[in-house]
Amino acid sequence: MIKIAKNELRNLFFSPVAWFLLIMFLIMCGYFYTGIMYPLAKETDHLIRQDPNWIYLPTLSITANIFQPFFAALLPNMYLFVPLLTMSVVSREFNNGTIKLLYSCPITLNRIVLGKYLAMMIYNFAVMLVLGIFIVSGAFDIKSLDYPPLLSAILGFYLLLCSLTAIGFFMSSLTTYPIVSAIASFTVLFILMTIGGLWQQYDLVRDLTWFLSVRDRTEKMMVGLITTKDVIYYLVIMYMFVGFTILKLKAGRETKPAYIKTIRHVTVVASGLLIGYISSRPGFIGYWDTTALKTNTLHPRTQKILREMRDSTLEVTLYVNLLDHNTPGQWLPKTRNIYMDIWEPYIRYKPNITLKYEYYYDLLPGDSSYYKQFPGKTLRQIAGLMAKGYQVNAAIFKSPEEMHKLTDLKQEAYVMVMQLKYKGRTTFLRFLPSQTGMNFDEGSTEPNIIASLARLTGVKMPRVAFVSGELERNIYKRGEREYNMHAIGNNGDQTYIKRIALTNLGFDVDTLNLAAQDIPGDLAILVLADPKMELSPAVLDKLRAYIVKGGNMLILGEPGKQYVLNPLLQSLGVRLAGGQLVQPNHDETADLVSTYWTRNYLNLAEEYEFLLWKHLLDHKVQAYPPVIRLRGITTIDHVIDSGFTIRPLLMTASGKAWLKAGRLVADSVAPVFKHEEGDLNGDAFPVAVQLTRQRPSKEQRIVVYGDADIASNTGLITDLVYSIYSWLDYNEFPAYTNVPYARDNRVTITPGRAAGQKIIYIWVLPGILLVSGAVLLLRRRRK
């Protein structure tokens, strides 16, 4: 078998085809690699000239940022090389008459075929060595290159190439004409590379086409995730098509009934599918995340909850409305395999997750958009026409009457939603699982899922109460100054608004009218946001008693209404200063003031933005925290010692703002500082402060803000607001899911060296390979 493999390799390298393929692959790799590296080298050089300590975002892996687009560009072109490589592997033996010599040798047919295929695998390894050139280059071009995910990608490419070669190998055995074999191989490989997205709307075909797709599994390895399911899949493809080749050649040497031949082929197919099926079952899949940052793995906090839930099944039911305006035509049966892949990181740690699907059609009362689009049609008829347009069977969609018997989704506005059920407890999950290693305000829904899973396991969720009764900011109203967006998130149907709402991040939110209600003893956070009426003695007494008992509070005030909050604040040792902070500016009105967070603010929570700036400050990078421009704010004075430790969170820019006493007319001429009228100048003014003191069982925490618009529907600054809630809840919720800092956070290559690489990889190395191949072929021809 080894001798046959050696002979096959001689035939390959003593023909121009193998050299041509290697040269073209090298040129293609060089083109894609330098096309990514050269612009990045120029950008880095420019930034380093400004700051020698400059780095990319600490959690951004430059290895992934460069090589994932590089591999993604190569992947669609891999099947183009195989037909030329395999078109004459078997047919050449028949055309040259050497097949008779092989058959007469004291060697089995299996070893003949395996020897030839071994040669193809060795050649594929040589192709992977070309990829290795660029990994070695990356080691010199990138600081602390992350090698394991690159080796994972090479493994994926090698398995893919060997699988495609096995298919082309079989095609070569079907005909004695190499051109016919190449065309057939090209056609079959093209189909298998693209079939994963075909006919996904049909239940009987969906799983088959998804299984036959040879491309999707390589994409996981390209990002550094190796699974036994994907590796075994490629091995099964090799086994099946090499087996078909053996059976085809064996059929030409012996006379057997048709049913015997059929049984042999069915046995190969059945055994391959059985192995593939068993290896893809949850609980039988092994995972290896090769990335240094574990970006393909759920956060340890999520893993812990899922492992605790292994004792019972988690049922996830997806409800999809055919007439949903937000996701028209999405998450219908054709996307079911994509939906299952989305849940795979969670199934990895909890195999007994069952996914169910309910499809229906319904509209909110007063929604006439579809009736205008289809005049004279009933809701059922409209659903039928929409289903026809989406090429899906209308019979799978339940009517409003049928859905109302199952569950009431009116509160969810009939949009896409999932219901999670575990041990009799249920909760709604309003967002699909998304990218790991990010926070909720960056696009990840993992913090939302952590909150939902915690509810299912019986974790006592922190209660947040917003004081009402004195015209405070309202969590149920959608006006620009109200708090609906960040509190309960039903301000429209926007997914982002819902995702960042406290109710979807693990908090139980409600209002509390202190004129008629007492403050519950199990309250986690009490929010008093910009009351416009003076607090009655009864309300003040309740608030003061809550503070004396050690309750945590968030207090937000506005200029002009300091007299409402100061009676309460003075018991804490602070007060809202009279007047309003101003910062005269040529381009803006004077009430717009620039502020900056302090190191105390950065220490509140694991906000990604905070971790970034702490990292930059620790590494002495010349970077300035972003300017936070607030309109209509006042400062906070420290008046007496009340036992609280007071630290500033947000400060105005040094020497730029001053406190304007009295009433400010913002849209008139710029104000002028007048000390005699009570105006106050200073270095910097605190706009937000944190107060802490130690109580017998915990540390009491209070935050006071001189601006209530920072949490409003139109003025919400997510990282500033949610970090406060996290700190007040002792950093339990929201659940932050940041990844560690990346070591490979900078390229070290200069623009000049990158330009030189372009010449070497696209011209010099291919030229050397061309000359070497030409010399070898000429010497062979001479002999």
pLDDT tens readout for residues 228-260: 999 999 999 999 999 999 998 888 777 788 888
pLDDT digits (tens, 9 = 90+) for 744-758: 878 888 999 999 999
Please tell me which residue, 624 or 731, carries the higher pLDDT value. Answer: 731
pLDDT for the residue numbered 441 = 47
Mean pLDDT of 599-603: 87
Q: Contact at 8 Å (CB) between 520 and 452?
A: no
* Cα distance between residue 601 and residue 597, in whole Å: 6
Give the pair of three-digit tokens for residue 690: 């944190």
Residue 620 has pLDDT above 80, yes or no: no
- Give the residue from 252, 33, 62 showing the smallest Cα distance to 134: 33
- The share of the chain scoring above pLDDT 90, in percent, equals 44
pLDDT for the residue numbered 185 = 82
Give the bridge partners for 510, in sequence order: 465
Residue 698 has pLDDT above 50, yes or no: yes
Any idea which of 553-567, 640-654, 668-682 has the lowest mean pLDDT? 668-682
Please tell me which residue, 620 or 286, carries the higher pLDDT value. Answer: 286
Mean pLDDT of 532-539: 92
Q: For residue 170, what is the enclosing H or E element?
A: helix 147-174
Mean pLDDT of 419-440: 75
pLDDT bin (cut points 50, 70, 90) of residue 501 is confident
Count CA atoms within 13 Å of residue 438 on its CB side.
12
Q: 3-state DSSP call for residue 667?
A: coil
Q: For residue 275, what is the enclosing H or E element?
A: helix 258-279
DSSP state for residue 489 in the 8-state scheme? -
* Cα distance between residue 457 and residue 300, in whole Å: 17
pLDDT for the residue numbered 202 = 64
Any idea which of 27-36, 90-99, 529-538, 718-727 has the lowest mean pLDDT? 90-99
CA angle 567, 569, 571 (to 5 degrees): 80
Residue 167 has pLDDT above 80, yes or no: yes
Mean pLDDT of the residues in the chain: 86
Please tell me which residue, 172 or 704, carries the higher pLDDT value. Answer: 704
Extended beta strands in 610-683, E state: 628-631, 636-638, 645-652, 658-660, 680-681
Amino acid letter at 435?
Q
Please tell me which residue, 31 or 601, carries the higher pLDDT value. Answer: 31
C-alpha distances (whole Å) from 270 to each of 236, 381, 750 are 11, 44, 55
pLDDT bin (cut points 50, 70, 90) of residue 442 is very low
Residue 565 has pLDDT above 90, yes or no: yes
Q: Which pairing describes strands 553-556 and 525-529: parallel, antiparallel, or unpaired? A: parallel
Q: Contact at 8 Å (CB) between 247 and 265?
A: yes
Residue that is written with structure tokens 């759920």 in the block = 298
C-alpha distances (whole Å) from 422 to each of 17, 87, 357, 462 are 60, 55, 17, 21
Residue 114 has pLDDT above 70, yes or no: yes
Give the pair of three-digit tokens for residue 188: 């079959």
DSSP state for residue 475 in the 8-state scheme? S
pLDDT bin (cut points 50, 70, 90) of residue 440 is very low
- The share of the chain scoring above pLDDT 70, in percent, equals 92
Mean pLDDT of 670-679: 81
pLDDT for the residue numbered 331 = 83
pLDDT digits (tens, 9 = 90+) for 707-720: 999 999 888 888 88
CA angle 84, 89, 91 (to 5 degrees): 105
Count of C-beta atoms within a 10 Å radius of residue 353:
20
Give the pair of three-digit tokens for residue 755: 């330009």
Q: Contact at 8 Å (CB) between 163 and 237?
A: yes
Give the pair of three-digit tokens for residue 158: 């090698």
Please tell me which residue, 472 or 50, carries the higher pLDDT value. Answer: 472
pLDDT bin (cut points 50, 70, 90) of residue 692 is very high
C-alpha distances (whole Å) from 109 to each of 66, 239, 549 are 46, 15, 86
pLDDT for the residue numbered 656 = 87
* Cα distance between residue 209 and residue 165, in whole Å: 20
* Cα distance between residue 222 and residue 618, in whole Å: 33
Q: Contact at 8 Å (CB) between 192 and 264?
A: no
Distance of CA 304 to the CA centre of its chain: 20
pLDDT for the residue numbered 313 = 93
pLDDT bin (cut points 50, 70, 90) of residue 495 is low
pLDDT for the residue numbered 134 = 95
* Cα distance between residue 154 and residue 734, in whole Å: 38
State in Å, rounded, how far the first CA of the chain is from the last one. 26
Mean pLDDT of 536-561: 94
pLDDT for the residue numbered 489 = 81
**Read out DSSP for 1-57?**
-HHHHHHHHHHHHTSHHHHHHHHHHHHHHHHHHHHHHHHHHHHHHHHHHH-TT--S-
Give the pair of three-digit tokens for residue 672: 């002028």
* Cα distance between residue 235 and residue 159, in whole Å: 8
Q: Contact at 8 Å (CB) between 244 and 170?
A: yes
Q: Which of 171-180, 277-286, 331-340, 537-546 has the highest mean pLDDT?
A: 537-546
Please tell me which residue, 85 or 230, carries the higher pLDDT value. Answer: 230
